[in-house]
Amino acid sequence: LKWTPRYVYPLGVVTDVIKPECTVDAGMEILNNRFNVPSKYRGKVEEDVNKRYFVDWQVPTNERRERKDLTRTHVVFTVDPPEAMDLDDAFSIQENPNGTYDVGIHIADVSAFLPMGSDLDKEAHDRATSLYPQTGKPVHMIPKRLSEVVCSLLPYRDRLTLSLFVNFDSSGEVVGEAKLERCVVHSRAKLSYKQAEDIIGGFNDMSVPPNVQNSVRMLHKLAAARREKRLGPSHLYHRPNEDEDEQGGKRAHIMVEEMMILANTKVAQVLVQKFPEVTPLRCQQPPKKEKFENWKTSHAALSGCSVALSKELPNDEGTHDAERDDSSPPDDIPLFKFVWDEIRFAALHGDLDRIQQLVCTDENHPTLARALLQLRGIHDRAVFRCSAYQSPEQNQHYSLNEAAYTYFSSPIRRYIDVVVHRLVVALIEDKPSPYTSDEVGEICRHYNNMEVNAKAYERETLVLKLAYDWM
């Protein structure tokens, strides 16, 4: 309550007493209190949502008239973890007679259900992000009726989206300008990452419509080509992820990730042109020059040994300093025995994709893993800033190699995406920005703080789960 100079300790009041128990539930209660995790929505927010939107909600006729109806013309599908219900994004792809492809990236239009300035909007703003603890249920930013039913792009349901359409040539190069539209879509399939991976690998899944399977394979081909153009040799590296290992599907994850990066990048580009003073941008500056040069000096010998570090340590033959012993390429790169065993097993079975994955993953090689970890340590943290307060050079996202980047793809679980959606709607309808620069700046600062809090909370819940599993 207060802490005056006269007192050694602050003045407070007991709000709750947690019993000293060695259970996951007791641990979660402590963490929920420590990180101020809300247990319920304020006032009548959730009650009002449940009254207004029923479980069998359908798109109103007048809303359908004002949007582009893709329910019968586009083969739309989602790719998510099997247990996910808050489905933000979906995809479609159509091949044109001239050999180009029209890719649709369809994002749930959450802003249509959050009146600006309403109690629901204020609650979403304050929460800023959904929380996904390692044990227990998710803590949604918006009520479950919206996040898992009405807004979610569930299969066999008509849903509202903001859709980005991009035309590709067969090499994965974007042709012409991207287009944003308000749409109604109908998902034909909810795929797990494992299902999508099997389809990409040529397996025919009898539970998935053939036109969906063809769409997945075409989209993967374009996503892989675009990733190679964007990252160069680094496209062969994909950061290991425990969720991917559990769910299966490295190529499926890369396909979805690449389409999300494309959507967020294209939206950032058009918004910066239309609203240069009020666009929230995800920014990451290059490492500080002195720290980066020290890192390069320490690891110069690894030049040409890592695809993940090819941007920072290009393979420039003949440029090593002959007077420096530590700049000579190493005679060998240490490898974990279990990784070598996996490489041998993959070689015996002719699994070239698996061999490439094992060889090109720096975390499998202690020397390269150390260099990569130290590089990440000198990187600035990516944060949101209002475009009004920055020069174009400061707008870049260094790690993604993009000149401008924002969050557009996950409005069900991030409030900053809702703000971006409102700007997109204003752009489509040719209206002025619904926000001022100061308002966007405040939203960015609040989101940055809540994002750090969310990551710390989710990390602590993982520690709790692992500790309890080992008891």
Q: Is the pLDDT of residue 324 over 70?
A: no
Sign of the Cα torsion 185, 191, 196, 198 reads: negative
Q: Which two tokens stand for residue 363?
A: 């975390």
Mean pLDDT value of segment 71-98:
95
Q: Is the pLDDT of residue 14 over 90?
A: no
- What rounded mean pLDDT belongs to the chain? 89
Residues pairing with 384 in the sheet = 282
Residue 104 and residue 91 in contact, taking contact as beta carbons nearer than 8 Å: yes
Mean pLDDT value of segment 446-452:
97
Q: 142 Cβ partners below 8 Å, 6+ apart? A: 49, 110, 113, 114, 120, 123, 124, 151, 412
What's residue 470's pLDDT? 81
Confidence of residue 41 (pLDDT cuts 50, 70, 90): very high
Give the range with max mean pLDDT: 243-247, 296-300, 325-329, 408-412: 408-412
Q: Is the pLDDT of residue 439 over 90?
A: yes
What's residue 331's pLDDT? 67
Per cent of the chain over pLDDT 90 is: 61
What's residue 108's pLDDT? 97
Alpha carbon 68 to chain centroid, angstroms: 26
The residue with greater pLDDT, 126 or 6, is 126
Confidence of residue 15 (pLDDT cuts 50, 70, 90): confident
What's residue 330's pLDDT? 67
The residue with greater pLDDT, 424 or 303, is 424
What's residue 353's pLDDT? 82
Residue with tokens 């290992």: 245
The residue with greater pLDDT, 244 or 373, is 373
Ranges assigned E (strand) in 239-339: 280-283
Distance CA 271, CA 273 (A): 5
Residue with tokens 């009726």: 145
Q: What is the pLDDT of residues 61-79, one digit of tens each?
A: 999 999 999 999 999 999 9
Q: Which two tokens stand for residue 187?
A: 């998902």
Q: Is the pLDDT of residue 321 over 50?
A: no
The b-or-e profile of 229-253 (16+ CB within 10 A means b, else e) is ebbebbbbbbeeeeebeebebbbbb
Q: Which two tokens stand for residue 405?
A: 């980047």
Q: Measuring CA to CA, which residue among 229, 213, 284 is closest to residue 262? A: 229
Q: Is the pLDDT of residue 96 over 50?
A: yes
Q: Is the pLDDT of residue 319 over 50?
A: no
What's residue 315's pLDDT? 63
Instruction: Dump the DSSP string for 389-425.
Output: GS-GGGG-BTTTTBSS----S-TTTBHHHHHHHHHHH
Mean pLDDT value of segment 193-207:
91
Residue 76 and residue 169 in contact, taking contact as beta carbons nearer than 8 Å: no
Q: 307 Cβ partners below 8 Å, 6+ apart? A: 233, 234, 235, 236, 237, 360
Residue 195 and residue 74 in contact, taking contact as beta carbons nearer than 8 Å: no
Distance CA 100, CA 90 (A): 20
Mean pLDDT value of segment 301-310:
79
Q: What is the DSSP letter of 288?
A: P
Q: What is the pLDDT of residues 137-154, one digit of tens each?
A: 899 999 999 999 999 999
Q: Measuring CA to CA, which residue among 281, 278, 262, 283 is closest to residue 423? A: 278
Ranges assigned E (strand) in 86-197: 89-95, 101-108, 158-168, 174-192
The residue with greater pLDDT, 468 or 67, is 67
Distance CA 220, CA 56 (A): 33
What's residue 283's pLDDT? 93
Q: What is the pLDDT of residues 345-376, one digit of tens each?
A: 999 988 888 888 888 888 888 888 888 888 88
Q: Is the pLDDT of residue 317 over 70?
A: no
Q: Measuring CA to CA, which residue among 406, 374, 401, 390 is closest to residue 280? A: 406
Q: Can you list the alpha helix ranges (DSSP code H) found in 179-249?
A: 193-200, 210-231, 242-247
Helix (H) or strand (E) holding 342: helix 337-348
Residue 420 and residue 267 in contact, taking contact as beta carbons nearer than 8 Å: yes
What's residue 332's pLDDT? 74
In single-letter form, the type of residue at position 273 comes to Q
Helix (H) or strand (E) holding 384: strand 383-386
